[in-house]
Structure 1
Amino acid sequence: MLLGKTINDDLYEELEELLIQSDIGMNMTMQLVEELESSVSRKKLKTSEQIYDELKELLKAKLIYNDEENTKLKLKDGKLNILLVVGVNGVGKTTSIGKIAKKLKDSGKKVIIGAGDTFRAAAIEQVEEWGKRTGVEVVKQAHGSDPAAVIFDTVKTAKNRGFDVAILDTAGRLHNKRDLMKELEKINKIIREQSGETDFETLLVIDSTTGQNGLEQARIFNEIVDLTGIILTKFDGTAKGGIIFPITSELKKPIKFIGVGEGIEDLREFDKKEFVEAMFD
């Protein structure tokens, strides 16, 4: 789209517009354009094709927390691994949990899911449905139960019966930050006490179509719990997903998975090279 064009202010303005439309945000966009202009001058780049390739390299360099080691789930053999999954309602949290459960089960892990979003009856039903689809056991209680009690039961069951991974769903009620904070602090305490683990994955699910709201959600959840990674959903159709650049830059957290469709297999481990290329398709 920008190939074959003359290198001038108009080209930089077009690149700036492209980055903003990709949800990278104004601050990160200005930083990237400044770095790009410096690279063009230093490397004596002559064509728009070279500039385009340089921009892609700069974008990949921004994802410094996404090397292969950081991107993979940190799972240990011979002990219970906890995946605590957080995020606001409607971002695809429960769907992501189901898809992760399928991946882990297919890799030979014994997996259990805790339906910890007890405030929405539909969320409990959705977890149950994913349990049936994947053949993974689900721990649940009645709609309106204490979420912490579900987490307690799930972790205790997982520990007593030799499960490899417990994936824990949570409510996403951001309209009351204090309640959410108290709830997640309680859940964290239960996980540590019941599992004996202090080092576990806490994954934030973000909808790539929400743009800059995703950054604010990431800030709030990272204040409440120490996030270990991000799952970016709905990266198909019109979503560009550029929001991951300010999130990873500011919070210093890796992207673990990216959702690219509705199918059960459509949750992929994050690959920064593939992601940057897909942004400009």
Structure 2
Amino acid sequence: MFSFFKRKPKPEAQPTLPPQVEPAPQPATAPAAPVIAAEPVVSAAPVAPAAAAVEAVPAPAEVAPPPAAVAAPEPVAPVTRAEEAEEAVEKAIEDEVEIVAAPEAAPEAKRSWLSRLKAGLSKTSSNLTTLFVGARIDDDLYDELESALLVSDAGVEATQWLLDELKKKVKAERLTEATQVRTALRSLLIDLLQPLQRPLVLGREKPLVMMIAGVNGAGKTTTIGKLALHLQAHGQSVLLAAGDTFRAAAREQLAIWGERNNVAVIAQESGDPAAVAFDSVHSAQARGTHVVMIDTAGRLPTQLHLMDELKKIKRVIAKAMPSAPHEVLLVIDGNTGQNALAQVKAFDDALGLTGLVVTKLDGTAKGGILAAIAKTRPVPLYFIGVGEQIEDLQAFNATEFVDALLS
């Protein structure tokens, strides 16, 4: 579990909590913390001066932070890549910032999550774990391991790196038992995936603007609903923006999540998604909302005109708030294998991704895709999902993932 930083309390500091702070199990229909009164879906005006958008939405009461919330540190710079995260850690040590360990989740909730993760990755792990049962350490074992990694969509580059490093480790440490080789593989996988495990830093901007992208069917809207509840449980008020203006079902689905989580939704029928994004940012500023999440329509990386539309949305968000968007998240379906890696590359090149959310890992035989992402395009992986329930979306932990993969 990762740590987060805390400077000495200041009167108006904002809470900064990493996603690894897992809240106690929540009911599927309500967050742990008190929430604002439910509001109807608010229609966004067409592209217009910011004042019109602000006046169109009444301000709700702030969400009170949960009793167990930790004292807030000063706002910190956004973590966008592994190197920047390491620099932040080094700077915190130099500045003598107090580092507070994140509290563990309730044992029952933790066991439940790990069991779901293990069950979700069972199809991927079955091809890997059976290799080491009574096996001899020879070329046949390495060939079978190579095939198993490629079948799991670990990719050629990551697979070759793992095999080369494993052979070096076996020789250097003079390993003679198959179980020892399996332990060595576990260590190498954790080292490979560790750079993906980074915290989502809250409270560094108000509002913290999050732009959510992905292909059709990846689970963007559902993920936004789950994240809204997750953020509320950490004392963050949330505003949702229905940037998928052309698919009525997307707006309705987001409205349902907004009603379920008691948060307002900015929506507009058959309008400009950039206008919805613009209005939502100004509305969040007027309300004093902590986080605004902007949904976008699903699109394939090959649809260049739609990728250009995403770039336009990002530019318009920056006009509403120069430092925004602070997070550009890509939601990818874990079942798509190497296609997921192609999506990460394309969206990262177009938008400059700050984080990933991998959904639908339950029942997949392609869990090795995380190794491919880590080796070729290590964008931080904030959350993984192994089911449809609220609690099935959790912060990514490299050690837990590898243990479930090799269990």
Q: TM-score, normalised by structure 1?
A: 0.94
- The answer to whether structure 1 residue 22 and structure 2 residue 152 are counterparts is yes
Match of 2:66 in 1: none
Match of 2:15 in 1: none
Pairs aligned (count): 277
Match of 1:38 in 2: 168
Match of 2:379 in 1: 253
Match of 1:211 in 2: 337
Give 1:78 shift: 6.3
Q: Any gaps of 5 or more consecutive residues in structure 1?
A: none
Between stretches 124-133 and 240-249, larger displacement belongs to 240-249
Match of 1:12 in 2: 142
Match of 2:361 in 1: 235
> Higher relative CO (CA 8 A, sep ≥ 6), structure 1 or 2?
2
Cα separation, 2, equivalents of 1:78 and 1:38 = 46
Equivalent positions of 1:115-264 (< 5 A) are 115-142=242-269, 144-174=270-300, 177-198=303-324, 200-264=326-390
Cα separation, 2, equivalents of 1:177 and 1:200 = 25
Give 1:243 shift: 1.1
- Name which of 46, 49, 68 aligns with 2:179: 49
Equivalent positions of 1:258-273 (< 5 A) are 258-273=384-399
Equivalent positions of 1:70-85 (< 5 A) are 71-76=198-203, 79-85=206-212
Give 1:150 shift: 0.9
Residue 59 of structure 1 aligns with an amino acid whose one-letter code is L
Q: Any gaps of 5 or more consecutive residues in structure 2?
A: 1-129
Match of 1:93 in 2: 220
Could you say if the C-alpha distance between residues 78 and 33 of structure 1 is closer, same or farther in structure 2, counting changes exceeding 3 Å?
closer
SS in 2 for 1:118: coil
Kept after mapping to 2: 8 A contact 1:56/1:277: yes
Kept after mapping to 1: 8 A contact 2:314/2:325: no
Give 1:146 shift: 0.9
Cα separation, 2, equivalents of 1:55 and 1:112 = 43
Kept after mapping to 2: 8 A contact 1:114/1:154: yes
Between stretches 241-250 and 38-47, larger displacement belongs to 241-250
Residue 329 of structure 2 aligns with an amino acid whose one-letter code is L
1:147-174 CA-to-partner distances (Å, cap 9, x unmatched) read 1111111111101110000011011222
Kept after mapping to 2: 8 A contact 1:258/1:268: yes
Give 1:17 shift: 2.0
Between stretches 235-244 and 125-134, larger displacement belongs to 235-244
Alpha-carbon RMSD across the aligned residues, in angstroms, is 1.6
Kept after mapping to 2: 8 A contact 1:159/1:195: no
Give 1:38 shift: 1.2
Could you say if the C-alpha distance between residues 175 and 244 of structure 1 is closer, same or farther in structure 2, counting changes exceeding 3 Å?
closer
Between stretches 234-243 and 159-168, larger displacement belongs to 234-243
Q: Once the two structures are aligned, what percentage of the paired residues are identical?
A: 46
Could you say if the C-alpha distance between residues 27 and 78 of structure 1 is closer, same or farther in structure 2, counting changes exceeding 3 Å?
closer
Kept after mapping to 1: 8 A contact 2:240/2:266: yes
Kept after mapping to 1: 8 A contact 2:301/2:346: no
Cα separation, 1, equivalents of 2:375 and 2:142 = 23
Could you say if the C-alpha distance between residues 199 and 92 of structure 1 is closer, same or farther in structure 2, counting changes exceeding 3 Å?
closer
Give 1:223 shift: 1.1
Could you say if the C-alpha distance between residues 102 and 239 of structure 1 is closer, same or farther in structure 2, counting changes exceeding 3 Å?
farther
Structure of higher CA gyration radius: 2
- The answer to whether structure 1 residue 63 and structure 2 residue 193 are counterparts is yes
Kept after mapping to 1: 8 A contact 2:158/2:375: no
Q: TM-score, normalised by structure 2?
A: 0.65
Kept after mapping to 2: 8 A contact 1:256/1:269: yes
1:178-213 CA-to-partner distances (Å, cap 9, x unmatched) read 222321221111222212324611111110000000
The structure richer in helix per residue is 1
